[in-house]
């Protein structure tokens, strides 16, 4: 069985969701322009976690082209997503795609480095999705998790990093330092007393942490 077969099966059997066509257009754009977006399995997982928690205040670090922001906004009838992006090309592309989405009024894109623009945040959040520069995950969690409510959910994407977090020697040489850093992040998060964390082998690995 290949992942492609599995992906095709899961796509076939799940009912089409709202804006499936827009999301497919964004998937093609991402492939063509080598923009990393979340896997379909990860998208479904995020949507179900949001539905399960009834999360309506969602914070995202790393908009990219807005695929995950739209995905998360679609999972909640009236939820809002606040999302940070610092790359100018991605901001431009994200704005183009967001304009096509019925969720656009519910997504606030903050331009710039999340650490520098943190004063833009207001109030606390039910759900925090960390999907930005992988080498800074500890700092992202330390800086932004105080904005998460107790009992709120934090999800960190790509924590298995194609398996390189547990087999860093199989990573291309230039990525080995990052793979090791991400492995350290995983151990740090799993032992962090403020979170009850599980790494799920979904997509590229998703850590789901419940804030205590």
Q: How far is the CB of 159 from a copy of itself (least distance, A)?
A: 10
Q: How far is the CB of 186 from a copy of itself (least distance, A)?
A: 6
* Site for a copy of itself, residues 156 to 195, rule: CB under 8 A: 160, 162-163, 165-167, 170, 186-187, 190-191
**201 near a copy of itself, judged by CB under 8 A:** yes
Q: How far is the CB of 11 from a copy of itself (least distance, A)?
A: 11
Count of chain residues binding a copy of itself (CB under 8 A):
38
Closest to a copy of itself by CB, 67 vs 195, is 195
Closest to a copy of itself by CB, 30 vs 190, is 190
Kindly give the pairing relationship between strand 57-61 and strand 80-85.
parallel
> Which one among 27, 36, 47, 180 touches a copy of itself, defined by CB under 8 A?
47
**53 near a copy of itself, judged by CB under 8 A:** yes
Which of 178, 72, 94, 76 shows the shortest CA–CA distance to 134? 178
* Site for a copy of itself, residues 75 to 104, rule: CB under 8 A: none
Q: Give the count of alpha carbons within 13 A of 162, CB side only.
A: 10
Across the beta sheet with 206-211, the strand order is: 107-111, 80-85, 57-61, 125-130, 148-157, 206-211, 195-200
**52 near a copy of itself, judged by CB under 8 A:** yes
**14 near a copy of itself, judged by CB under 8 A:** yes
CA distances from 145 to 7, 9, 16, 212 (A): 32, 36, 33, 11
Q: How far apart are CA 31 and CA 46, in angstroms?
A: 21
101 and 20 Cβ atoms separated by less than 8 Å: no
123 and 148 Cβ atoms separated by less than 8 Å: no
Per CB under 8 A, residues contacting a copy of itself are 1, 5-6, 8-10, 13-15, 41, 44-45, 47-49, 51-53, 153, 160, 162-163, 165-167, 170, 186-187, 190-191, 196, 198-202, 208, 210
């Amino acid at each position: 069985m290949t992942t492609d077969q599995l992906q095709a099966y899961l796509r076939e059997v799940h009912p089409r969701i709202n804006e499936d066509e827009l999301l497919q257009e964004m998937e093609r754009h991402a492939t063509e322009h080598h923009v990393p977006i979340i896997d379909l399995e990860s998208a479904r997982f995020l949507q179900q976690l949001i539905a399960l928690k009834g999360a309506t205040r969602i914070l995202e670090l790393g908009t990219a082209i807005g695929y995950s922001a739209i995905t998360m906004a679609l999972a909640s009838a009236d939820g809002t997503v606040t999302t940070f992006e610092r790359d100018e090309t991605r901001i431009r592309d994200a704005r183009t795609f967001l304009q096509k989405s019925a969720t656009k009024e519910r997504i606030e894109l903050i331009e710039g480095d999340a650490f520098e623009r943190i004063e833009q945040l207001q109030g606390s959040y039910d759900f925090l999705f960390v999907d930005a520069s992988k080498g800074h995950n500890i700092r992202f969690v330390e800086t932004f998790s105080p904005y998460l409510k107790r009992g709120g959910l934090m999800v960190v994407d790509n924590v298995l990093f194609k398996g390189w977090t547990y087999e860093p020697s199989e990573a291309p040489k230039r990525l080995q330092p990052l793979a090791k850093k991400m492995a350290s992040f995983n151990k740090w998060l799993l032992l962090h007393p403020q979170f009850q964390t599980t790494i799920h082998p979904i997509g590229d690995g998703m850590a789901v942490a419940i804030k205590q």
